[in-house]
Amino acid sequence: MPTIRAANSALGHARRWCARGLFQLASSILRRAINLYERRTIPPVVLRVALFAVRCLERSAALLMFGLRPHHKPE
pLDDT tens digits for 3-33? 777 766 778 888 899 999 999 999 999 999 9
pTM of the predicted protein model: 0.77
The tens digit of pLDDT for each residue in 39-67 reads 999 999 999 999 999 999 999 999 988 88
Burial (0-12, 13-18, 19+ Cβ within 10 Å), 15: middle
Q: Compute CA distances 36 → 25, 47, 61, whole Å.
A: 16, 9, 25
